[in-house]
Amino acid sequence: MFAIVRTGGKQYRVAAGDKIAVEKIEGEAGDTVSLGDVLLAGDGGEVKDAKGLTVSAEIIAQTRGEKVIVFKKRRRHNYRRRNGHRQSLTLLRILAVGEAKKAAPKKEAAPKEEAAPAAEAKTAAPAKEAAPKKEAAPKKAAAPKAEAPKAETEKKPAAKKAAPKKDA
């Protein structure tokens, strides 16, 4: 049985026993992860309903991909930039392609007797009344500042002189 799984923005065709390198997934080597976004499933030549299917995989290692060199150049401007990038990857071994295992419903714990009296004590204690909030005092209007008379001694920038024309 095979499945098409989407993880990390890419799609992978997987079957039990396959090893794939995908975008980084949280976890350590030996952890089991479940890939729930199954797009298509099939067995041989027939296609099956992918609803409710999950793919379980084991993390083999957390690695990094090949270095990709990013080189930027703008000709005739003496502009060159060289950067490298290594993508973080997770190596997965596909364990099984099959139906999702439904977790058993969790049982709710009975409330403890010790916790109940403490809760009652809190509700029985009178709540402190909040002190009335003081109203903010009205802001005083700022006195208008007297504008200083402009000095008439300020000079305007001088006009640029035209360059003398040369006769050709």
Q: Residue 104: what pLDDT?
A: 44
Q: Residue 105: what pLDDT?
A: 47
Rounded average pLDDT over 43-70: 92
**Is the confidence at residue 10, as pLDDT, over 60?**
yes
Please provide residue 108's backbone torsions phi and psi, each rounded to the nearest 5 degrees.
-80, 135
Domain spans of the chain? 2-72+81-99
Which residues neighbour 8 within 8 Å (Cβ) at sequence distance 6 or greater? 22, 23, 24, 25
CA distance 61 to 94: 13
Rounded average pLDDT over 131-160: 64
Rounded average pLDDT over 84-93: 97
Rounded average pLDDT over 4-11: 94
- Residue 4 and residue 11 in contact, taking contact as beta carbons nearer than 8 Å: yes
**Is the confidence at residue 94, as pLDDT, over 90?**
yes
CA distance 130 to 146: 47
Rounded average pLDDT over 159-165: 70
Rounded average pLDDT over 17-27: 95
Q: Residue 154: what pLDDT?
A: 66
Residue-wise pLDDT for 25-46, tens only, equals: 999 999 999 998 999 999 888 8
Share above pLDDT 90 across residues of the chain, in percent, rounded to a whole number = 51
**Is the confidence at residue 93, as pLDDT, over 80?**
yes
Average pLDDT, the chain: 80
Rounded average pLDDT over 70-83: 97
Q: Residue 48: what pLDDT?
A: 86
**pLDDT: which is higher, 127 or 87:** 87
Q: How confident is the model at residue 52 (pLDDT cuts 50, 70, 90)?
A: confident
Would you say how long the chain is, in residues?
168
Q: Residue 99: what pLDDT?
A: 74
